[in-house]
Amino acid sequence: MESIALFGGGGFIGSHLVRELLNEEYKLIVVDLSSEKIRDVLPHPKIEYLELDIRNDENDAKFKQIVDDSDLVVDLVAYANPVQYVDKPVDVVELNYHDNMKIVEDCAELDTRLIQFSTCEVYGKMGGRSDGNPVFEEDESDLIMGPIHNQRWIYATAKQLLERMVHAYGIEKGLDWSIIRPFNFVGPEMDYIITSPDEGTPRVFASFMSALMYDHTMYLVNGGTNRRSFTYIDDAVRAIKHVVENEGKQFSGEIINVGSPENEVTVEQFAHLMRDIYQDISTDGSLPEVEEISGEAFYGDGYADCERRVPDISKLERAGWEPEYDLRESLEEAMRYYIEKHEEKQIAK
């Protein structure tokens, strides 16, 4: 039975991937700081769960042994929230680059295949290629960041450097690698929900979901004019599974966009669609106010953004994958999960 180690396997993407892979003949080694999001499948005879922190150097030998015991490593470990990029940029680089490089080095030394998760943010701020094509192509699009004082880009540059080092280890040390660039996945267990704005700044879906359920303002950062392509987590996991299976080694040495280009929308349109759906499927018909706010006021000094992120998904299409969920279906599925949990809590009170 093939063994797969999932570092960060207890997070949003990892937890859904764990459930999907349990349907196959794999032994899973799941490493994370919390098992809360996979509590429904633990204990399980095909899962070994280890609560370990990659940032702790004392665990390096344990991580190396896990890599040695595995046929495939899936590395999902990252800080992935814009407020973190602004508030603690040094920590972002330490985790997203330095600590992840230890896994890359172990995989190269021990001849273990690596699927490294990156981000669509590596494409930067330009909204597509320099020739005006708005679609992000893995092997052709330039990766252009903003100026140094916009430290929002420190996350993207750390991930970009990690990608380049994975590629370099493939050339110099024979590492068998694939890199996945996610495009705005949404779904159950995506992010933490806040009951009031002073509890934190989750990503856009969770921010709007929190506002709808707990009746605080829905903030449109910089007017909500930027566009994003949202992908339902079930579609994403089906795509990732193709990369895991890697038939004919078609994804070895490849960077792969995972996204739903047809689900592109402005953040403002996204907010109003969530409001419409909330009224349709929630027993609470009230809606919060919507206000525009600057990026600096919402996230802090150093915030910046890009206009568009549209993925080219032709590599996955050639493997027989395509997204099944349109934007409304994606949001209905994701929102229903949070609404039902919220209403259950209200009844319990």
| Residues forming the active site | 155
Provide CB contacts within 8 A for 47, sequence distance 6+: 18, 22, 28, 29, 30, 38, 41
Q: Are 154 and 335 in contact (CB under 8 A)?
A: no
Q: Are 291 and 218 in contact (CB under 8 A)?
A: yes
Triad 316, 101, 50: Cα angle to 5°:
85
